[in-house]
Amino acid sequence: MLDWDDLRYFLAVHRAGTLAGAAQALHINPTTVGRRLAALEEQVGARLFDRTPDGYLVTQAGSDLLPRAERMEGEAIALEREIAGADRRFEGVVRVNVTEMLATRFITPHLPKFNEQYPGIVLDMNCSNRAVNLGRREADIALRLARPHEENVVTRRIATIHLTLYAAQSYLDRKGLPEEPEKSLAGHDLILFADSRAFSKENDWFTTRLEGARVVMRSDSVSFIFGAVLQGVGIALLPRAAADSEPRLVNIPIETGPEPRVVWQTVHRDLKDTARIRVVLDFIGGILDAPT
């Protein structure tokens, strides 16, 4: 009989394409993944992957096994959710997928109060822009800046994040305020978001104001940009709710800004009434469900 645990390794390698990627997803070392995969191939009597310079490519035998392994995974995860959904204790691990900025600047200041109220709950915060699959239990709760369209999830809009221009006082002491920031940022150093679709709204807003300005850096981390602005590196768009509470930053007045970001809180339908997950949902919602 096939061991479901070995099939987990098979699916992880298929999805990641490498032993290292599978090991990272499973939180173990690549040697263990390779050993378990070899054991599975010996058990079924067939090679499941071709080892190529581009990674592990599934063979015909692997393709035949894949849908069955995915069905077993689905049943195992559904059982886990059913058991977890019946849990009425305020204890255990709750895994939250959240952007680094929301975690560090919005959630972190409230953690002491939460830990005091619920000492039995361990928050496992995965700070990433990657969209996780709640159906595969990659997280219990996800906070996203784009509305998810997964099946069997409950999604709630919990915040609107407005962004506007900021600079450190140390930067303005050197460069001065932009004369007409609504029209032009000429003569100034700018920190933009990564040149990717995820940040197109913010970068498009900058486009008509770039002539004569200097882009000194880009990043896909809002927390990194926040830190760079604090150090006087340049001017950037930052979340107003976080930046206004930082005395070292100066709001550069503009009449318009990029379209606000919406924060969506998502949980799998089977887990929404689990006691420990319910209190984390309420905790995060209470922090962010306010004008920002």
Rounded to whole angstroms, how far apart are CA atoms 74 and 161? Answer: 35
DSSP state of 260: P
Q: Of 244, 243, 163, whose CA–CA distance to 206 is shortest?
A: 163
- pLDDT of residue 131 exceeding 90, the answer is no
Contact predicate 33/23, CB 8 Å: yes
Question: What is each CA distance from 61 to 10, 178, 183, 208, 222, in whole angstroms?
Answer: 12, 64, 61, 55, 44
Residue 119 burial (CB < 10 Å; 0-12/13-18/19+)? Answer: exposed
- Of 100, 120, 81, 104, the residue nearest 279 (C-alpha): 120
Among 268, 288, 270, which Cα is nearest to 132's?
Answer: 268
Structure-token pair, residue 81: 């959710």
**Size of the chain in residues:** 292
Does 151 have pLDDT greater than 50?
A: yes
d(CA 224, CA 207): 21
Using 50, 70 and 90 to split pLDDT, how confident is the model at 82?
low
Q: Which residue has the higher pLDDT, 236 or 28?
A: 236
- Strand bridging mode 261-268 / 153-161: antiparallel
What pTM was estimated for this model as a whole?
0.67
Least confident of 55-69, 91-105, 129-143, 218-232: 129-143
pLDDT at position 292: 42
- As a whole number of angstroms, the distance between CA 239 and CA 247 comes to 14
- The fraction of the chain above a pLDDT of 70, given in percent, is 94
92: helix, strand or coil? strand
Q: Which domains does the chain have, with CATH numbers?
A: 4-85 (1.10.10.10), 93-159+262-288 (3.40.190.10), 163-259 (3.40.190.10)
Q: Is the pLDDT of residue 290 over 70?
A: no
- pLDDT tens digits, 180-205: 999 999 999 999 999 988 899 999 99
Q: Judge whether 157 and 262 are in contact, CB under 8 Å.
A: yes
**What kind and span of H or E run contains 189?**
strand 189-193
| String of DSSP letters for 140-183 | SEEEESS----TTEEEEEEEEE-EEEEEEHHHHHHH---S-TTT
Q: Is 239 helix (H, G, I), strand (E, B) or coil?
A: strand
**Residue 88 vs residue 138, higher pLDDT:** 138
pLDDT of residue 215 exceeding 90, the answer is yes
pLDDT at 149: 82
Is pLDDT of 76 > 90?
no
